[in-house]
Structure 1
Amino acid sequence: MAVDKMIWKIILDIVVLACVAVPLLVIYLSAEPYRRGYFENDVSLMLPYKEQTISEGLLAGVGFALIAVTVLIVEVVRDKQGKNVGEKFLCASRIPGWVWESYTTIGIFTFGAACQQLLVNSAKYVIGRLRPHFFDLCRPSPAAGSDISPTTYIQDYSCTNPMADLARQTDMKLSFPSAHASFAMYTAVFFIFYIQVKGKWRGSKLLRHGVQFAAATGAWYVGLSRVVDHMHHWGDVAVGFAVGVLFGAIVFVYVLKPKKYGIPGSWETTQPQMLPRPVLAR
């Protein structure tokens, strides 16, 4: 019966993850963003087009690799120190505790990342905010007969720039919020919390905090690069950061539930110490 429960737990985890990942994939492949218009004198849309410094693939690869490698190293070390959970059994095979803990942590991180990206990308397509390089990339031409003036809101237009293929025309409407900033900050917050709870080393007082600061700085740089590359307005990045921090904290504290690790003084309330009976009798 225990083996059956373990198998069903893994299957259910995969199904739940798929329920979040499939809608995200559908949005990427078939959704059409809201067609937002523009004003002729909108200076926030007049920045030159630039190639992005950090691509989605690079960011995702580095983020998942950082979490996976960190979790594996920490869990193996904790297992050597006898601090991990007991062994598990799957199909009559013994599963080391560090393997199960790694699976749980990486799986929960992946689930949170999928939820965070689904929320952010659905907002992108609903709002359809134009990127700062809209004029340079699109070179919009209003439809014939449109009333053109600095105060006219133009929603019926076509792109005349040969570079503005269908994929770029879709992408230039996905400015708000920044998915790069959101994922980077989500990864950094999850990493910082995980290291704080489980990555303790007595060899140095500041090593752990230095690594945490480096992760936060990396996420900060990703957000700043999106503004420098003219891919987002500063408000898009700010909201992306806020979503990432919120999801990172919620997923770690309420989904991963670090209090189960039983680490004294971390995340869990302790029972008040009882006074000796002679003292109570006074």
Structure 2
Amino acid sequence: MTQNKVILKIVVDFIVLACVSFPLLALSLWAEPYRRGYFEDDLSIRLPYKEQTISEAVCAAIGFAINVVTIIAIEVYRDKKGKGVGEKFLCGRVLPGWAWDAYVAIGVFTFGGACQQLTSNSAKYVIGRLRPHFYDVCRPVPTPGSALNQLGYIQDFTCSSSDQGRLQNMRLSFPSAHSSFIMYSAVFFILYLQERGKWRGSKLLRHGVQFAALMLAWYVGLSRIVDHMHHWSDVATGFAIGAVFGVLVFKCVLKPKKYGLPGGAWSEPAQPEMLPRPALR
């Protein structure tokens, strides 16, 4: 790959990533969630408000940290073993092969993370499901005599609370974006370690680390239920979205098994064809 092609690829990658990230930013800044009503006898939305154990920033930091550190460590190790793509030239400087491989993997992981977050967050605003702590945050007061408040389903109401941040957030229960992102990160990590983290040492070490990543994602999802931030179905759906994106992004975008492409970041040297044995009389 020539230097101009390397630069063009990097520029295009950042443009595509920006195109996916901008709608995600627009949702959080300007979108209004669907104003769903509630049933008066619904006990699932009458739980007390609690501070969340794991914030969005911490969840994102964990997901990116375990993948970025793992990717860089594995690619440096592979490069020292002579399994990398070799050096490249960028802006007149030599770029180590491991840095290019790491850039490809981290870029794909980031792109997939933005896609799954856009999928989860767009569903939040379209559906507008009330969180379990809805009553505690809103303190709803139904409008007397409203034709919309019939058969026990209240659509026309006002909130006694004045905390606008919590009032908007209380409608963003389904699905759980925390669960979606952390499961996506765990699945991507597990598949990457399985495919690229080859080591002839302990048979169980790699699988033990993979199981720990899965348990971390499991804990984050369960904490969302314990903190009264989500219903169990929100977390289950978030897990499903994250797992599907993790598999699809790794297998279809990163394509670690795409062999036989000379010069590709993920290519493997083709095996020489075996010469036919001489026929025996």
TM-score, normalisation: structure 2: 0.91
Q: Say if 1:85 and 1:98, in contact at 8 Å, map to a contact too.
A: yes
Which of 156, 162, 165 aligns to 2:163? It is 165
- The CA deviation at 1:3 is 1.6
Provide the residue aligned with 1:42 in structure 2: 42
Answer whether contact 1:39 1:150 (CA < 8 A) is retained. Answer: no
The Cα offsets for residues 58-103 of structure 1, whole Å up to 9 and x where unpaired, read as: 0001111111111111111111111111111112221110000111
Are residues 88 and 275 of structure 1, via their aligned partners in 2, closer, same or farther at CA, if it must alter by over 3 Å?
A: closer
Residue 20 (structure 1) aligns with: 20
Residue equivalent to 2:264: none
How far apart, in 2, do the equivalents of 1:143 and 1:16 lie?
47
Distance 2:37 2:182 in 1: 30
Give the corresponding residue for 1:102: 102
Equivalent residue runs for 1:1-282 within 5 Å: 2-146=2-146, 151-161=151-161, 164-260=162-258
User: In the TM superposition, what is the alpha-carbon distance from 1:119 to its structure 2 partner?
Assistant: 0.7
**Deviation for aligned residue 1:147:** 6.5
SS of 1:33's equivalent? coil
Distance verdict in 2 for CA 1:148–1:94, change over 3 Å: closer
After superposition, the Cα gap between the structure-2 partners of 1:82 and 1:152, relative to the gap in structure 1 and judged at 3 Å, is same
Distance 1:123 1:179 in 2: 10
Q: Assess if the C-alpha contact under 8 Å between 2:149 and 2:156 holds in 1.
A: no
CA distance in structure 2 between the partners assigned to 1:279 and 1:40 by the alignment: 86
Separation (CA, whole Å) in 2 of partners of 1:87 and 1:31: 45
Helix, strand or coil at the partner of 1:258: coil
The C-alpha deviation readout for 1:102-154, integer Å capped at 9, x for no partner, is 11110110000000000110000000000011111111001232379893211
Q: Give the 3-state SS of the residue equivalent to 2:257 in structure 1.
A: helix
Q: Note the residue ranges of structure 2 that are not aligned, 5 or more in a row.
A: 261-267
Change in Cα spacing, 1:260 to 1:149, as seen in structure 2 (3 Å) is: closer
Cα distance in 1 for residues equivalent to 2:16 and 2:29: 21
Instruction: Decide whether the 8 Å contact of 2:148 with 2:156 is kept in 1.
Output: no
Q: Distance between the aligned counterparts of 1:238 and 1:139, measured in 2? A: 28
Shift, 1:279, TM fit = 8.2
Give secondary structure in 2 for the equivalent of 1:141. Answer: strand
Q: How many residues align?
A: 273
Deviation at 1:205, TM superposition (A): 0.5
Q: What code does the residue aligned with 1:213 have?
A: F
Change in CA separation of 1:134 and 1:279 when aligned onto 2, cut-off 3 Å: farther
Shift of the 201–156 alpha-carbon distance from structure 1 to 2, 3 Å rule, reads same
Shift in alpha-carbon separation, 1:61–1:226, aligned structure 2, 3 A: same
Separation (CA, whole Å) in 2 of partners of 1:148 and 1:44: 22
SS in 2 for 1:246: helix
